[in-house]
Structure 1
Amino acid sequence: MQARESLRRRIVVAFVSFGIVLSLFFAVLAAVAVEGIEVHLVDNRLAEVAKWALPRQAAGLAVDLPSGLRFHRGGAIPLSLRDLPPGVSDVEVDGVGLHVLTGSDAAGPYVVVDHESDYEKIELVVYSLFAAFFIGFLVFAAGLGGFVARRIVNPISELADAVGRGGTPLPGLERKDELGILARALAAHTAELRAFLDRERFFTGDVSHELRSPLTVIMGAAEILMANAASETTRAPAERIYRAAHEAAECVTVLLLLARAPELKRLPLVDIDAIAAREVERYRPLVDAKPVELGYDDGPAFAIQAPAELCAAAIGNLVRNACQYTAQGAVSVALGAGRVVVEDTGPGLPAAVRETLAGHGATAHAIPSRGSAGTGLGLSLVLRICEYLGATLAYEDRPGGGSRFTISFAAAQPAPISRDLNASLTGH
């Protein structure tokens, strides 16, 4: 997960943003308060001094003020303090800050000067304390946000990891808060999905096992008919029955394999080069009576850990469909670096199927079967086999017309120098 998308980061940012907004709010309040205190302590003080000194000075009495305060009238006003606007002014004379109240009455202008006010120092202390509070509050907000984020995000991460690993029971089931509700909902949904998958796997396995016996009987009877056929009119139907039963038996084997958990790392390597060449030769009779050339281009040999029957079914289904639906031209099977490419000059796929295959998120259930003869194996099952093997099935229009299917094996390895294909097909 990217940092900007992290829930933990969002929580910390929210706490810090709250701290900044709250600090700015208090900063405005503090500034207003400081200005108000300044008016009360300084401006009102100067006004009180002027109110006390003016009548005494007019009566000819001595104006004795506390240290730091001065009263001047008329010509006694220093030149630097003349021509100031009426009211309280902050001026600096010879590097000394002064608060000056300027006014006038019937006797002429006057000024009250506060030479030694400590209010600027008090302001500096107040603002310094507020800056320290601001920084400390931000650090506290970030720490509190990180603590809250860990308390919230860590259980979610543990729950997500447990769901990803398929572990049971899930953590947090005993909690009474929303995380507990989420954990219990995930546990119930996971159990429902697991039960559904088990039912589907058991059903597929049971049906496949039940079909094996009658298919074996059919193939045996067809072999007897072929061996004892007195004429071609009897032998040809017997051969069709045998081929259909044999392909149905292969389909049953594929379904049985797909019903099992994909533990591919425990399987031996199978040579994809040998399987592809075998499937090409197997379906060559489909184009013997048509103006279609079936070719095989050998390439870099590679092998994968997988059931050989599944690899043969995926590649063979594409080759068979290409041979069946190509009326003239060519069908080619080529080996590349970790991939098998099947091309034909046939009519191509329907637009809906082509768009589904080209789009992201295509699944086996989203691809309608193309109706290959006899076995019922279609593109949906090919895609399901690819998903089982960790491979990808890609489709594109062939330049000049036709189809191009590419099966890419992510776990491809260099093929051994020699391998017994029959042993691979039996899984030994």
Structure 2
Amino acid sequence: MRALTWQGRENVRVETVPDPRIEEPTDIIVKVTTTGICGSDLHLYTVLGAYLDPGDVLGHEAMGIVEETGPEVRTLARGDRVVVPFNVSCGTCYMCERGLHSQCETTQVREHGKGAALFGYTKLYGQVPGGQAEYLRVPFGDTLPVKIPEGPPDERYVYLSDVLPTAWQAVEYADVPPDGSLTVLGLGPIGDMSARIAQYRGARTVIGIDLVPARLARARSHGVHSLDLRAHGPDGLTEAVRDLTDGRGTDAVIDAVGMEAHGGFTASVAQKMTARLPDAVARPLMEHAGIDRLNALHTGIELVRRGGTLSVSGVYGGAVDPMPLLTMFDKQIQLRMGQANVRAWTDAILPLLTDADPLGVEGFATHTLPLEEAPDAYARFKAKEDGMIKALLVP
């Protein structure tokens, strides 16, 4: 089959690799019909090479048609249409039964002290082949895939793999009160969808902050108060947000940026240097001395009102990140974060994926491209060129 493979820093290539096969009696093989490029994939493209091997198949946002089932699969059959959540979670262990699928005890990567395995996401998360490919082996066929109806286009459902549940959890964790206010830092796919979900769930004022004109304009078209970081600067942002919220700041802030934050010169240089070191040197450095660019997180702490909630969905990877605990304590901030527990939210989201389309999922992608063009798409996505906000690949 054809699949997108990692070859080195900022070097991915579509190659012919062996087809996946049934390995466990509860596995299924999915013929991928649509797969997304996620902002988290850029971490593999630029920073996390120490935990990848040349030839690793990338991608964790996939949907398609069941091609083959293992002998113990009871709820799916060849020809069924499914979305594949990015957590490789069993659905039946202690953690999964409590809605913590990202901590699945069946697939936890204990060697690295991590939670559940993820599709297409490094040795740290199990080195499971990903979904930017023609076919994908999916474990736990009866409990992991989300069966969806025939007929509507793929784009109505593909975001159930990551974007929708991640944004839904970000809003859930933000705990915005009825008619309350929310600031979303970063208007990429997760931030944009978080703003839409917050509005759908009753937030009165939603403020979005970014520095990419296309992202700001897109959010503004959906009724978000869009603030350009370049125009305001950090100090001006605080004033602008407080002007919109009776001088207090918003009830909640979602950090949908993470380690991709602009600024933070020392951390930026450290990330780039680490990405270029030999794996044997880079791994312990990242695990024990890694630092992130924390500008977005610190901005969130500043913008949230006293007694408010900070919800972190952006990925951070540092081991020794300094946190302004004095400010957080003084402002009595509640902080919630974590990898999205995809399967915990899909049942709540699925009924919204109707012809009415209240979240605007159809047309959410700015680009749909053949799988063979994935290397160019990665480069354009990283450079934020050509208005690329969300790209889908079609094998």
Instruction: Bin the TM-score by the shorter chain.
Output: under 0.3
Q: In terms of Rg, which structure is larger? A: 1
Of Structure 1 and Structure 2, which has the larger fraction of its residues in helix? Answer: 1
Of Structure 1 and Structure 2, which has the larger fraction of its residues in strand? Answer: 2
